[in-house]
Chain A
Amino acid sequence: MRNNKWEVPYPSEEEIERQVTIIVNQGLPKQLNFIQLLLDIKQYIGWRYVVLSYGEALFSGFLTLLIFSYIWLTANETTLHSTKFNGLLFMLSPFVFLSLTAYAYYQKRSNNTFELEMTMKFTVFQILVYRMFFFSGIAILVNTSFILALSLKFEIDVLRLVLLSLTGLFLFSSGLLLTLYYGQFFKRCVGFIGAWIVGNSLLLITVDQQYSKLLDTLPIAVYSLLLVGVLVLHLYSFKRLLTKSQEGVVEC
């Protein structure tokens, strides 16, 4: 029997807290997770604005052709088996990826469309990151084709060079994506690219013998493991950057 007929059953503090959380969660718009965002971008943006534009293809194709022609023309059995070749391949493997990304970014900046496109549902920053993922794919194709082409003329360890090139590519792109995450992207990216070139060059110059020997003698299994690790890092940084809050990104 109730002591006071006016007493109204009142939920506990915990129950109130729980109900408030449920109401707030249901009321707030759902934040898209990584997979939903990828599917959404694919549905609304489609391939048309993700694949290469003529300008990007021409610019990157020309630069790539220039560098690869130089390597091809100067390559001989001695240079290919010299200690520096593996190090150079590792350092230059992100070149296609980098030139495509830089050109895509430059186009937005030079046409002054960056600001407007940052206010869209899918920001241009997210689209650039999304495209960088595809640029990696194009870079794999170009780099691998080049190594295969070299193998037709010279006796080289194709698998080792492909693994080395992929590791260099994904290590670089992961680093670049992580750099972008922390803002001030122009300065930071220039710093990262500079650090990549200087770091690798220093290794080639100062500890050339040991560095190249290491690249040359690491077992394929270790290379494969390294590549898997770098791929995981790449996916992680890609996901992190794509789902990053877009508010205030242009201040970077």
Chain B
Amino acid sequence: MLVVQNVGKEYGNFKALRNINLQFDNGIYGLLAPNGAGKTTLIKMLVTLISPTTGDIFYQGQSLKKLGQSYREEVGYLPQHFGYYKHSTPKQYLNYLAALKGMDKQIVPNRIDEVLDMVALKDVKNKKMRKFSGGMLQRVGIAQALLSNPKIIILDEPTAGLDPKERARFRHMLSDLARNRIIIISTHIVSDIESIANEIIMIKNNVISHKDSVVNICSTLTGKIFETMMSHEDITEFRKNYITLAEKQEQGKMVVRFVAEEKLEPSWKSVEPQLEDVFLVEYAYEDTSGNNK
């Protein structure tokens, strides 16, 4: 079990995170917030790249500071900006990282084949990475995070650069892996985690605003999400009064999905809230620096 206890992070006078309390058991956790909200700061503390200014993080009851190397051994991490050596092949790079991870040399070749197979890169394991597309490089990044069969997998924006088919494959793979692992995915793309996360964690104004299952989080907007049709001329005025979540053209009119406290017009049709709705409502009046407008 991984426990974040009263954690805060300050950079000079700027408070990046305040009073964060979280608990992770085996399963998938989606860390959802707009860019600049503090997701990456939290992720970097979870992988020991930076230390909390206040509070502490514990794994199996021990502080990460005390565990040090033995904690890092248990973690697979994909950073937001995955770095690689352009002149290396995936096989060479994974071999190097396996050495840094302190893996048993006997099992490394087979394990490299396994993880490259999982991300559909086995056929290009001996090709130089400088020729790879963004999606292929991201898959090498995912492969290295899985390499040592870690107990904790932490992925920062893992689907950046992946096409829809690769995203689907990635989600299936994570669902399989999550049975006996903690998987934490930081993203601002709701669809990446909506169908696979056991819990969603949302950060707002540098604190945790939600931590619950997708169903429970969505239920906070039950009865408040509506759809209606209106003319193009009316939409500008409508936007001034309501948070619109989606707008699409249909039969020469606009179909608008929006949030309201209650049904005020007979033409409004109540619809089931989605995680995307909660995300948009939560951050509708927040800029990326975390300050309310």
Interface residues of A (CB under 8 A from B): 28-29, 31-32, 40, 44-46, 48-49, 111-124, 127, 245-248, 250-251
Say whether B82 contacts A119, CB under 8 Å.
no
Chain A residues within an 8 Å CB radius of B70: 29
Does B83 interact with chain A (Cβ within 8 Å)? Answer: yes
Where the two chains meet, the residues of B that have a C-beta atom closer than 8 Å to any C-beta of A are 44, 47-51, 62, 64-70, 72-73, 75, 77, 79, 81-86, 96-97, 99-103, 105, 144
Q: Given the complex, which residues of A lie within 8 Å of B81, measured CB to CB?
A: 112, 115
Say yes or no: A28 contacts B66, CB within 8 Å. yes
Shortest CB-to-CB span from A166 to chain B, Å, is 31
Asked if B77 and A116 sit within 8 Å, CB to CB, the answer is yes
- Residue pair A251, B100 in contact (C-beta under 8 Å): no
Beta-carbon contact of A121 and B102 below 8 Å: yes
Q: Which residues of A contact B102 (CB under 8 A)?
A: 40, 44, 120-122
A212–B82 CA distance with the chains assembled, in angstroms: 51
Q: How far is the CA of A246 from the CA of B64 in the complex (A)?
A: 11
**Contact between chains at A45 and B62 (CB < 8 Å):** no
| B100–A250 touching, CB < 8 Å | no
Which among B64, B82, B83, B84 has the greatest number of chain A C-beta atoms within 10 A? Answer: B83
In the complex, the answer to whether A251 meets B50 with C-beta atoms within 8 Å is: yes
Task: Please give, as numbers and ranges, the residues of chain A lying within 8 Å of B82 by CB-CB distance.
Answer: 112, 116
Contact B62 A28 (CB under 8 A): yes
Contact call A111/B72, Cβ cutoff below 8 A: no
Is B79 within 8 A of A116, CB to CB?
yes
Chain A residues, CB < 8 A from B73: 121
Q: B79–A115 contact, CB under 8 A? A: yes
Q: A31 to B48, alpha carbons, bound, how many Å?
A: 17
Q: Given A120-B101, A122-B102, is A248 in contact with B50 using a C-beta cutoff of 8 Å?
A: yes
> Are B83's CB and A119's CB within 8 A?
no
Residue among A29, A111, A121, A127 having the largest count of chain B Cβ atoms under 10 Å: A121
Nearest CB on A from B283, distance (A): 27
Chain B neighbourhood of A120, CB < 8 A: 72, 97, 100-102
- On chain B, the residues within 8 Å of A31 by CB distance are 68
Known A-B contacts: A44-B103, A117-B97. Give 6 more (CB < 8 A): A49-B96, A111-B86, A113-B84, A116-B97, A121-B69, A247-B51
* Contact (Cβ within 8 A) B49 A49: no
Distance in Å from the Cβ of B91 to the closest Cβ of chain A? 14
Do A247 and B100 contact each other (CB < 8 Å), given the known contacts A112-B83, A116-B79, A121-B73?
Answer: no
* Minimum CB–CB distance for A26 against chain B, Å: 13
Q: Is the CB of B65 within 8 A of A247?
A: yes
**Is A29 in contact with B51, judged by CB distance below 8 angstroms?**
no
Q: B49–A248 contact, CB under 8 A?
A: yes
The closest CB in chain A to the CB of B98 belongs to A44
Residues of A within 8 A of B72 (CB): 119-121, 123, 246
Give 30 pairs: A residue, B residue, CB < 8 Å, sorted on A: A31-B68, A40-B102, A48-B99, A111-B85, A112-B83, A113-B83, A113-B85, A114-B83, A115-B79, A115-B83, A117-B100, A118-B49, A119-B75, A120-B97, A120-B100, A120-B102, A121-B69, A121-B102, A122-B69, A122-B100, A123-B100, A246-B69, A247-B48, A247-B68, A248-B48, A248-B49, A248-B51, A250-B50, A251-B49, A251-B50
In the complex, residue of chain A having the shortest beta-carbon distance to the beta carbon of B11: A251
Q: Nearest Cβ distance between residue B176 and chain A, in whole angstroms?
A: 23
